[in-house]
Amino acid sequence: MAVPKKKTSKSKRDMRRSHHALGAANWIEDQHTGEPVLRHHVDLKTGMYKGRQVITDRD
């Protein structure tokens, strides 16, 4: 089993972790309701996706 020969410095450790940050969520404004919505996701309130009705109410 491989064992490190020397301690990893704080600088090297933090440089390695520099790519671990989370990116910002890609929110857009809904054309019909004006509410913020995640791109490429169905709006669960209205059931709309890309201007089409994809979820219908079963009430």
Domain-wise residue ranges, the chain: 26-59
Would you state the pLDDT for residue 34?
86
E runs forming strands in the chain: 27-29, 36-38, 48-49, 52-53
3 state DSSP class of 29: strand
Amino acid code (one letter) for 30: D
Question: Do 43 and 49 contact (CB within 8 A), yes or no?
Answer: yes
Res 43: pLDDT: 83
Per-residue model confidence (pLDDT) at position 1: 87
pLDDT of residue 48: 85
* pLDDT beneath 50, residues of the chain: none
